[in-house]
Structure 1
């Protein structure tokens, strides 16, 4: 028994002495040097490619849309007694300021469906149901014209015309009651757009006096110089002539025109 205890004590002493011998303490007159462990191999983190800061555009598509189509809306107001503010607000809302798929694909700015009796071109588009039939126009201006005719030619919208063209709120709620849209908040949305962009000012705008249709800006004699954004339809409207007449006097086989081209007006 005594022999076992003695062996345990001897072994413990040897272990402690061994551990202590590995610890190196250097006391000398030289400066103490600390030896650090060699770091483990760690994979480098790849540097991300620097992305140039995107410059934010200040373009407001809705403002640009309003500026472009306000003159048409004002003309339609005097022709059909529909508030220009309502026409513009509907155009903004229904077409996403001219950027909706329906507006881009078919120049339909008011979401007007084919309905019975429509003989023009058509396109299918998902709305309340899949694959619904919508009217397709060659020019946005035609969409504005058809919008006015659509409201004036249907009995269910007849009650709207008892309101003045300056009473856009009555028109907004009247359109909803007449069934123009299924959205219950349709009137509030129209009114919100009108207020936000001050569209009511167009309801009080007067039509500019008509100039001699054969002496407009950028003409050469009885010719008109085509500028960016012009279409045969818009030129015909500007000078009170028909598209057919323009095509005949200029020998055009289709409606294609180019910037800088001179068109004979008569």
Structure 2
């Protein structure tokens, strides 16, 4: 090979290597759709509503708008879903990004869950207190109030939030707080069984044996006649906490033998892989190993919205 030919080959090889390294450096996460984002974060928005009295629809709409459905640089690289900046005595990690000013300072979180919690805490500031005089289902008043309080500078901010809420029917989640506070039991048995006895929390000693999962999370095994309310009361938890920790929906019904976690699930399991058995869902695997459903989807790209197949391997970390 001539010297000229060798140089050309070497240059082409070098460019190819650089391109490969650059490709590896790019984030591999696929684009999250709006419906996927809502599905991923609706439970967190509801739990924040129960805890802080902020409409879940408002939290979701703000998250969608501020994070571009979780696809923004702040969301991907800083777990910041609400565009909250560093001011206000923030002592945690930060990230710089051009915004109103060049290299504006934004808060950086270890997990996206922390971003949702910090957003709720942020809205406890004095200038937002008038919002809590509005009904929890009055998302229009909340949207306009956020703009009035100075949350955003965009004059169309209220309309953007309201349109998102109405387009995706996010307002339906605002009505779920009553369900978390309701004492209407969901029995772990046949509907014909009589109402369970109301037992004072102080007298409920060793009704359930607390166990520890391989993932170091406390749980109990459901018995016949159990209800979510009875278990929550026995362990001095809010009903919303059981719903959040176990990623429950109003359609979920207790069955004897089910696992109910008394603490939040983890982001990964001790085990590396689970081999899918016939009929299993991602929710089943989540309960089996104590790993959050949304984290399982993150560990397994391309499976969201698809039925699992028998023999399929699911990464647990």
Distance 1:139 1:92 in 2: 17
| 1:1-266 map, 5 Å | 61-152=33-124, 154-205=125-176, 206-207=179-180, 222-224=213-215, 238=245, 239-241=261-263, 259-260=272-273
Partner of 2:254: none
Q: How many residues align?
A: 182
Distance 1:130 1:108 in 2: 18
Q: Match of 2:146, SS?
A: helix
Distance 2:209 2:45 in 1: 21
Partner of 2:19: none
**What's the CA shift for 1:129?**
1.2
Is the CA contact (8 Å cut-off) linking 2:80 and 2:115 kept in structure 1?
Answer: yes
Q: What whole-Å deviation, never above 9, does each CA across 1:36-62 have from its counterpart, x for those lacking one?
A: xxxxxxxxxxxxxxxxxxxxxxx9700
**What's the CA shift for 1:223?**
3.4
Change in Cα spacing, 1:65 to 1:257, as seen in structure 2 (3 Å) is farther
Output the TM-score relative to the length of structure 1.
0.60
Note the residue ranges of structure 1 that are not aligned, 5 or more in a row. 1-58, 216-220, 227-236, 247-254
Change in Cα spacing, 1:213 to 1:76, as seen in structure 2 (3 Å) is farther
Distance 1:85 1:66 in 2: 10
Note the residue ranges of structure 2 that are not aligned, 5 or more in a row. 1-30, 189-207, 218-243, 246-260, 275-288, 291-317
Compare CA radii of gyration and give the structure with the larger one: 1
